[in-house]
Chains A and B, each alone.
Chain A
Amino acid sequence: MVEIDPEGIESRELLAAMDFKDTMVLEVGCGDGRLTFKYGAVPRRVVGIEPSASPLTNAHSNCPTALSSHVHFVQATAMTLPFRDHSFDVVLLAKSL
Chain B
Amino acid sequence: MVDALKESWRVLHQGGVLLDFRPLVGSPPIEIAGGGSAQEVGSVDDRAADGDSAAADAAIETVTKSGIFYGETKRQFQVAHYWDSVEEMSEYLGSRRHRMSILPSEAHVREFFDRTVRTDARIRLRCRWRNQLHAYARL
Jot down 7 A-B pairs with beta carbons below 8 A, ordered by A.
Answer: A2-B81, A2-B89, A4-B79, A9-B77, A14-B19, A79-B4, A97-B1
For A5, what are the chain B residues with a Cβ–Cβ distance below 8 Å?
A: 79-81
- A78 & B21 in contact (Cβ 8 Å cutoff): no
CA distance A9 to B135 in the complex (A): 17
CA distance A57 to B92 in the complex (A): 20
Kindly report which residue of chain A lies nearest to residue B136, judged by CB atoms. A91
For A91, what are the chain B residues with a Cβ–Cβ distance below 8 Å?
A: 8, 11-12, 16-19
Kindly report which residue of chain B lies nearest to residue A77, judged by CB atoms. B4
Q: Quote the shortest CB–CB distance from A10 to chain B (angstroms).
A: 6
User: Interface of A with B (CB < 8 Å)?
Assistant: 1-7, 9-10, 13-14, 16-18, 26, 28, 78-81, 83-97
For A1, what are the chain B residues with a Cβ–Cβ distance below 8 Å?
A: 83-84, 88
Kindly report which residue of chain A lies nearest to residue B60, judged by CB atoms. A97
CA distance A6 to B80 in the complex (A): 8
Interface residues on B, range: 35 or more
Q: Quote the shortest CB–CB distance from A16 to chain B (angstroms).
A: 7
Q: A95 with B82: in contact, given A1-B88, A17-B73, A28-B8 (CB under 8 Å)?
A: no
For B22, what are the chain A residues with a Cβ–Cβ distance below 8 Å?
A: 93, 95-97
For B19, what are the chain A residues with a Cβ–Cβ distance below 8 Å?
A: 14, 17-18, 90-93
CB of B78 closer than 8 Å to a CB of A: yes
A-B complex: 5 closest residue pairs judged by Cβ atoms:
A78-B4, A91-B8, A97-B56, A3-B82, A92-B19
